[in-house]
Structure 1
Amino acid sequence: MAVHWVLICHGLVTLTVVVSFLCGQWPIFQGTPISSIHRFITFGAYQYFLKFVGAVFGDKGTNLILSVEYYCCDRPNPILQIIYLAIIGTIYCIIAKTSFSYIPGYYLSGIHRYASMLAVGIGILLFILTSFSDPGTVKAENVSQYLSAYPYDNIIYTEKECSTCKLPKPARSKHCSICNRCVARFDHHCGWMNNCIGERNTRYFLAFLLWHFLLCVYGTIAIGLVLAGQLKELRVIYILTVYYGVDNSFGSLAPYIVQWLLGSYNTQILLMVFMAIVSLLLAGFFVYHANLCLTNTTTNETFKWQDYISWRKKLSEARASTAALKASISGVNGEGKPPESKCRSFFRRSPLEDTEAVIKNNVYDKGFFLNFYEVIFPVSTRASFLQTKSKSG
């Protein structure tokens, strides 16, 4: 029985760590233990580790760790790509070893042996497409076309030159310090793909997230059906009710069935929990990026809009404060004016309440269908873009 509790505690700890690492910075978790664990994992633990290395090995040890950090985080490298392939390969091999012997079963036909292999293969293909496709690199040969395709909105994008590439910087583009290139409609640099997500490969990235979400759901359900089939074929419920006298109700049978599953199929249970957790995280990431695409916004622009709206609000508050101060001064100096009735002064709004509403005016949002069309068929792949290129040449 102690082994069962160890497995349950292991699952809960894994869930807490994974959610804290991936979602701890979300506003909903601010001020919670999840946020504290996230800060420790992403920042605190590494700082303590650097101090420990410095105390034990001195500056040479610290410099070695910093050089490894530079290689892993500040320049292109295939580390996370290798980890992804190792994770998906290991999980598939464990599932094949522990569950394929029960397929075909009571609820699953033998086709799922091959369907699972095909599903994993498609997932790896989408991974390769996202990792090695051009995200939309801005070059001297195509910068004029990108300048025409993405005009400046003069709100968060104004005409400027990239200080590194020395090329005009099209609106919605950004210079990636890791890849050392300007990327059109830049969203973010993805370490798992070792590539930027931009104008040309956002569609592959979305397909990757959606497919891996479905893949995890498929794996979770398939293993669940395997276990349900074993429960049926071994007549566990019949044995519990007839030979052990357990009441034939869900509340009575559930603890015994869970105990039997954890004792006989603990590997499958752990895989189900892991894939269920990952599927929820992938669903969150997909919904977030799908919403960005359908509103024709990028992750990079989300931060720009937040900065812009915050600046406008502060400016509006400063103007309101100035107006309130002027009103109070004029009230002190205007002794000759008749006193305002208490009722009227009570209902009169303060100038501080007249702060203007800051509205996000995204000129690139063309509506649901056109935004979706732009992601599926990027501007640089259309005939009009190529014609503009030939005319400019």
Structure 2
Amino acid sequence: MAVQWVLVCHGLVTLLVVVSFLCGQWPIFQGTPIQRIHSFLTFGAYDYFLRFVGIVFGAKGTNAILSVEYFCCDRPNPILQVLYLAILGGTYFLIAKSSFSYIPGYYLSGIHRYTSLLAVGVGILLFLLTSFSDPGTVKAENVSHYLSAYRYDNIIYSEKECSTCKIPKPARSKHCSVCDRCVARFDHHCGWMNNCIGERNTRYFMAFLLWHFLICAYGTVALVLVLVGRAKELRVTYILTVYYGVESSFFDLAPHVVRWLLSSYNTQILLMVFLAIVSLLLLGFFGYHAKLCLTNTTTNETFKWQEYMNWQEKLNEARASAAALKASLNGMSSERKKPPESKWKALFRKSPLQDADLVVKKNMYDKGFIQNLSEIIFPLSTRPSFSQNKSKPH
């Protein structure tokens, strides 16, 4: 019984840590213990560790840790790529070792031994495509074509030069400090891929997220069917009701069946919980990026729009302050005669969320659901019209 409680606690702690680490910065968790755990995992723990190294080993130890940090976080490296392959390969190995002996089973046919391997193979293929494909590197040779492909909106993008590459900076592009290159329609730098996600490989990245969600969901359902099939084959409910006198209702049988599963198939249950958690996280991540793709927005641009909104808010505050100062200089007599603002009027005043919607509506790159999706699947730089532009003099 103690072992079962240890497994349950282990699963709950794992779920808390994974959700806190990956989702703790979401607005929904603001001010909650999950946000505090996220802050500790991402900043606090490392800061304490760095201080400890400084106390024990001095400046040389701190500099050594900072050098490792620079290599791992600020330069291209394959660490997370290797970790991804280890997680994928290790999980598949554990599933094969613990559960393939029950396939074929009561609910699963033997073909799932091979479809699971095929699913993992396709996942690795999408991983390689995303990792090693060109994200849309902007160079002196092709910068003029990207300048014609993406127009400046003069709101969050205006004509300027990249201070590092010394070439004109096309709209929607960004210089990646990790890869040290400008990338067209830059979304973000993905450490798991050791590559930028940009105009040319967003389609592979989206396919990678969707496929890995499906793999994890498939693995979760398959393990559930394995366990249910084992209970059916061993006639667990029959034994509990006939030989142990347990009432044949769900609420009476469920605790006994769960206890039997935890004692006999704890590895499968841990794998099932792990895959279920990862599948939900991948679904959320895919949904977020799908929304960006369907509105023709990038992760980088969401921050730019936020900066623009903050700037507008400060500008409006400055104008309001100037107006208040002018009113005070002209005298407050007219202000005193004004009736107090109606509570109903204050209630229905435009909210900050409506302001945000108005700003986002200024996105000139949003061309509608179909065309936005088309730009992801068939990037502008791969289209015949783009190739024809290359031959035109500029």
Query: What's the TM-score once normalised by structure 2's chain length?
Result: 0.94
Distance 1:63 1:226, change over 3 A: same
Is 1:378 the counterpart of 2:367? The answer is: no
Per-residue CA deviation, residues 318-342 of structure 1 (Å, 9 max, x unaligned), is 212332343344343679xxx84x7
In the alignment, the residues of structure 2 paired with residue 345 and residue 115 of structure 1 have an alpha-carbon distance, to the nearest angstrom, of: 71
Tell which deviates more after alignment, 318-327 or 267-276.
318-327
Q: Give the Cα–Cα distance (whole angstroms) in 1 for the partners of residues 130 and 11 of structure 2.
A: 31
CA shift for structure 1 position 139? 0.7
| Aligned position for 1:136 | 136
**In structure 1, C-alpha distance between the alignment counterparts of 2:281 and 2:97, rounded to whole Å:** 26
Cα distance between partner residues in 1 of 2:258 and 2:334: 81
Deviation at 1:59, TM superposition (A): 1.3
* In structure 2, distance between residues paired with 1:33 and 1:275: 24
Alignment partners' CA distance in 1, 2:393 and 2:341 = 66
The offset of 1:392, in angstroms, is 2.9
Alignment map for 1:3-14 (pairs within 5 Å): 3-14=3-14
Q: Which amino acid aligns with 2:34?
A: I
Give me the CA root mean square deviation. 1.9
Unaligned runs of 5+ in 2: none
Does structure 2 retain, via aligned residues, the 8 Å contact 1:25–1:35?
yes
| % identical aligned pairs | 75
- Counterpart residue identity of residue 6, structure 1: V
Q: Per the alignment, in what secondary structure is the counterpart of residue 223 of structure 1?
A: helix
The DSSP-based 3-state class of the residue aligned with 2:182 is: strand
Q: What does 1:85-96 align with in structure 2 at a 5 Å threshold?
A: 85-96=85-96
* Residues 1-393 of structure 1 mapped to structure 2, 5 A cutoff: 1-332=1-332, 340=337, 344=339, 357=355, 359-360=358-359, 361-392=362-393
- d(CA) in 1 for partners of 2:123, 2:340: 67
Q: Is the 8 A contact 1:317 1:355 kept in 2?
A: no
Letter in 2 for 1:22: L
User: Counterpart amino acid of 2:387?
Assistant: L
Amino acid at match of 2:37: I
Give structure 1 stretches of 5+ with no counterpart: none
> In structure 2, what residue type is equivalent to 1:186?
F
What's the offset of the Cα at 1:315? 1.1
Determine the C-alpha separation between the residues in 2 that align with 1:86 and 1:334.
Answer: 73
Deviation digits for residues 235-271 of structure 1, max 9, x if unmatched?
0000000000000001000000000000000000000
SS at 1:392's partner residue? coil
What is the SS of the residue equivalent to 1:212? helix
- How far apart are residue 354 of structure 1 and its match? 9.4
- In structure 2, give the amino acid aligned to 1:170: P
Once residues 215 and 192 of structure 2 are traced to their aligned partners in structure 1, the CA distance between those partners, rounded to angstroms, is: 18
8 A Cα contact 1:320 1:354, kept in partner? no
8 Å contact kept, 1:188–1:196: yes
Question: What is the TM-score with the length of structure 1 in the denominator?
Answer: 0.95
Q: CA deviation at 1:157?
A: 0.4
SS in 1 for 2:196: strand
- Cα deviations by residue, 1:268-302 (Å, 9 ceiling, x for unpaired): 00000000000010001000000000000000000
